Homo-oligomer: A and B are copies of this chain.
Amino acid sequence: MSMPVSPLAPKGGFPNLPVVDGARFAAVEAGVRYSGRTDVTLVELCPGTVIAGTFTRSKTRSAPVLDCRAKLGGASESGAAILVNSGNSNAFTGIKGVEAVRAITSETAKALSIPEARVFTASTGVIGEPLAHDRITAVIETLADTLQPNAIADAAQAIMTTDTYPKGASQQVEIDGKTVTITGIAKGSGMIAPDMATMLVYVFTDALIGFDALQSMVTQGCDSTFNCITVDSDTSTSDTLLVAATGRSGVDVTGVSSFEHALTQVMDDLAKQVVRDGEGASKFVTVNVTGAVSHADAHRVAMSIANSPLVKTAVAGEDPNWGRVVMAVGKSGAEADRDRLSIRFGDVLVAENGQVAEGYVEAEAAAHMTQDEVTISVDLGLGSDAATVFTCDLTAQYISINADYRS
């Protein structure tokens, strides 16, 4: 299946990502499920690399997710590796799934002469079919022999499933006169409603930092980035975000806010690229909620709007159908008072105090809806807490992708 690139894809194609000292990449075609494309990637990380991460909170987590989770925070003296395959998620595969993870981590550890406890794997694709792990172990030597510092674009390509373009982002920060680099890649397009993490995201930095400090930055960054996006309200069994700090810059970033800010920027950039590649998406939608009694309530209302099929289809139809926004606020379960609500599409005030705004001209709101990027803002008028969520519209193409594709 070959889909045209999303109309919302960043212009200019995959960015030119600066090399992160201490990280090397390789990708090959192993025929896990797809043919004629790469589907397995290996990342080698130098001794001393600290790895933090977050994972899906699904109760039906995949075997690789459980394995990775257990390994976070371990000793970092030796080198480490990340091995990812696309085409099969190795989720809901019982003991066979555990054996597949063991076979892959063991072969990878051997090829790179590192402990198994330092090999992090992920699998993405069909759920429930046994993973043909022998196809993966068969290519590990080749991967190990072809590792290169500047091949991150190949890795971004190899981890795609229904993605229509590879996703990458980077930031560089000057700290104490030295440059610290952060680069990251992600995949994701459908089954996107992350809960603690999204799909597959790998971020690399040459910063020097301990596990606890890095994990805290990652958890916080995730809350305002990957946990604020949704394509279709469905949460994956495989969501994995790993952030690897090689330390090679020699710059200690513990507690350095410019670094934390840059890291969050990379995560934000990748999260939005996932939304821009939402299955069938034709519009990028920002949902702002203000005036809530708590952040949790603001987030709940924003997610209720962002996940409403009736709001999403109205956006697809370029219809400033604010009645459906009212409906989504009402069903969210958050505290709300109909007669204090106000709603804007873009800058156009559509409704306030529980009714259509004085002097509202529908043509003005309709004009905003014709754009590629649509903003829906709701003020609940009750408190001072706010939240923003990013999503896309729901089109007939989402249906045709998912009525045919086996994910």
Contact = CB atoms under 8 A, between A and B. Distances in A.
A14 interface: no
Nearest to A280: B399
A72 B334 CA distance: 26
Interface string A310-331: 1001101101011110111111
Contacts of A60: 326-327, 329-330, 336, 338, 341
Contacts of A335: 59
Given A324-B127, A396-B396, A330 B61 contact: yes
A234 B58 contact: no
Interface stretch (A22-30, A261-269, A347-355): A347-355
A130 interface: yes
Interface in A105-141: 126-130
Given A92-B354, A310-B232, A59 B330 contact: yes
B59 A336 contact: yes
Interface string A341-378: 10000000001011110000000000000000000000
A285 interface: no
Contacts of A307: 233
A91 interface: yes
A338 B330 CA distance: 34
Contacts of A126: 323
A190 B323 CA distance: 14
Most buried by B among A232, A317, A329: A317
Nearest to A128: B323
Size class of the A contact interface (CB-based, 8 Å): 35 or more
A399 B316 contact: yes
Does more than half of chain A's interface fall in helix, strand or loop, or is it mixed?
loop
A399 B406 contact: no
A381 interface: no
A45 interface: no
A395 interface: yes
A356 B130 contact: yes
B331 A58 contact: yes
A92 B128 contact: no
B309 A398 contact: yes
Given A128-B323, A317-B402, A400-B396, A310 B190 contact: yes
A317 B321 CA distance: 29
Contacts of A59: 329-332, 334-338
A92 B404 CA distance: 39
A96 B339 CA distance: 12
Nearest to A320: B406
B91 A326 contact: yes
A193 interface: yes
B309 A309 contact: yes
Interface in A61-98: 61, 89, 91-97
A183 interface: no
Contacts of A236: 327
Interface of A: 56, 58-61, 89, 91-97, 126-130, 190-191, 193, 195, 232-237, 307-310, 313-314, 316-317, 319, 321-324, 326-332, 334-339, 341, 351, 353-356, 394-396, 398-400, 402-404, 406-407
26 contacts: A56-B330, A58-B330, A59-B329, A60-B327, A92-B323, A92-B326, A92-B355, A93-B356, A94-B353, A95-B355, A127-B323, A128-B323, A130-B355, A191-B310, A232-B309, A236-B327, A309-B309, A310-B402, A313-B399, A314-B402, A314-B403, A316-B399, A316-B403, A317-B403, A395-B403, A396-B399
